[in-house]
Amino acid sequence: MLPIPKNSGTFWTEYNDLRIRISYGIYDSHISVSASYYIWENESIVGFCKHTHLRMALKGAIKSLLNEMEEWGMDIWVSTRPKTKQKAKFIFFQAEENLD
C-alpha cells in the first residue's frame, strides 16, 4: 500500500520569469515535491524531487524541471514592449532531427 501524506498543498511561485506550480506532500519519512511549468492550457513539463527537508525538495524539483526543459530543447525569452511595458513570453523548442 502506498503511503498517505500527513499534509499536502499547492502554490504558485515565480523563478526566472517562469510561473511554476508547486505541489507537495509531507510524509512520515520524506517530502515529495513536483514543479510544473504550463506551456499551454493543460500541457506542462514537470520536475520531481523527494527529500527530508522541504526547502531542499523544492530546490531539487525546480532543478529537475529546468533539466527536463533543457532535455526537451526548450528556450524561453521574455521581452517587454517599450510603449506599454507589457511583458511577452516566447517559447521555442529545438527542431527535431531526421523528420524525413
Q: Are strands 43-51 and 31-40 parallel, antiparallel or unpaired?
A: antiparallel
pTM of the model: 0.80
The whole-number pLDDT of residue 5 equals 77
Report yes or no on 2 lying in a domain.
Answer: no
The whole-number pLDDT of residue 99 equals 53
The whole-number pLDDT of residue 73 equals 86
Per the DSSP assignment, residues forming a β-bridge with 40 are 43
Can you give the residue range of the structural domain that contains 36?
Answer: 7-93
Q: Which residues of 51-64 are buried (b: 16+ CB within 10 A; e: fewer)?
A: beeeeebbebbbeb
Hey, what amino acid is at 74?
M
Report yes or no on 82 lying in a domain.
Answer: yes
How far apart CA 59 and CA 91 sit, in angstroms, is: 23
- For the chain, which ranges sit under pLDDT 70? 1-2, 98-100
Number of domains in the chain: 1
Report yes or no on 56 lying in a domain.
Answer: yes
Report yes or no on 1 lying in a domain.
Answer: no
